[in-house]
Amino acid sequence: MSRRGQVGNIVISGRWYVVRFWRYPAGQSRVHASEKICPVNPAAPGYLPKGERRRRATEIVEASGVNDAQVFVESTNLVTFGEQARWFMNHSKTRKRNPVKAATIQAWQNTLNKWLIPSLGEMPLASVSNGTVKPFVQKMSDAKLSAKSILNYFGLVKLIVASAVDKEGEEMFPRKWNHDFLDLPMVSRQHQPSFDPETMNWIVKQAGGQDRVLYALLAGTGLRVGEALGLEIKHLSKDRRAVTVEQSCWEGQLQTPKTRNAYRQVDLTPKLAGLLESFVNGRQAGLLFANRAGKPLSQTNVARRSLHPILAELGKPKAGFHAMRRFRATWLRKQRAPEDLIKFWLGHAKQSVTDEYSQLHRDVEFRREVAVKVGLGFEIPTDGVGSMIPTVPRILGEQTASIAA
């Protein structure tokens, strides 16, 4: 779809890559159309790599005329919610303005597969409104989904409907969504686990190997776990008093940070800097945290094998690494750290004109003074440093290739 029109779906048919799309013959129901793009065999003449196949498919669809203004107007009411959802997902990944992160795309796709497509997929997009979505909201409520999940899934419905725009970029199906009519639940007392200083002391003390350094770094800086697992030695300052966040790790792949504000430098206390210095132990390159093969750690495995058993020993419920981020935010406020620095260190967005005016985050010496003053809020054991040094990656390029791409 050009902006709102079709882009086509690339599939393999026999020995060819083909693009499939809808045609709308005058006075007839829509029909599937299929056109060859290139051979599947990379050695065959005319073979095109993935990016070129996508561009060629778009050219074929546009040349077919199915996105012309007249056809576009006539076919608008025939586009289903499922078709628009597929276009929306592809556009969200490939658009130049704020492309959506892989983790969000996966969460959206899971939501589409399990909830939205089975309930709304065959419905004409023009018919998706308060009246037709209300039964879907009731279905989610009957399934005992949390209020937050219901609101998130409904939010995806709104995004998909709003993504249908005309040639001028105007919404084709503007909606005034009525939350009272839909009986959407209110989010209250959302589960947001955090750790107190006593629990954090126990976690760091009981952790073994590099897990201890990881937990101390997360609780002592407020880094997101993906940001910590994406750190390389080059991201540490020479005196280890600061870490620079410019990439993140998700499912073993390095990628750009979550938001523009996530690009930042986080200052460390001298004790935490000393722990990192011992942990680095002269390494000059590679990931800060890595498995025996030199690959990024899996946060799921670390939680399952280390964090959750430690919490079970303490008699605490399971919690994720974000609880350490909340611990840091809480500790910084209890120590009356400047709000400007709290937002900067945590990678949160500025929220007022005054926030934009303030340049406090540029004063490195002041930042370091505050970091020393507020401290960590937990103790760092000094034993067992030698056992924490991971295997040095043999080929750094294998780890960084994905971020360069």
List, in order of start, the domains of the chain with CATH numbers.
Answer: 1-78 (no CATH), 80-190 (1.10.150), 197-404 (1.10.443.10)
Strand pairing report for 264-267 and 242-245: antiparallel
Q: For residue range 200-245, what is the model confidence (pLDDT) as tens digits?
A: 999 999 998 899 999 999 999 999 999 999 999 999 999 999 999 9
Which burial class, exposed, middle or buried, applies to 373 when counting CB atoms under 10 A from its CB (0-12, 13-18, 19+)? Answer: exposed
Q: For residue range 21-30, what is the model confidence (pLDDT) as tens digits?
A: 887 775 555 6
Q: For residue range 14-66, what is the model confidence (pLDDT) as tens digits?
A: 999 999 988 777 555 567 889 999 999 999 999 999 889 999 998 998 888 77
CB atoms within 10 A of CB 370: 20
Close Cβ partners of 339 (under 8 Å, ≥ 6 residues apart): none
Q: How far from 100 is each of 26, 93, 304, 359, 363, CA to CA, in Å?
A: 37, 6, 28, 29, 32
Question: Which of 254, 251, 233, 283 is closest to 398 using CA atoms?
Answer: 254
CA–CA dist 265, 242 (Å, integer): 6
Question: Is the pTM higher than 0.75?
Answer: no
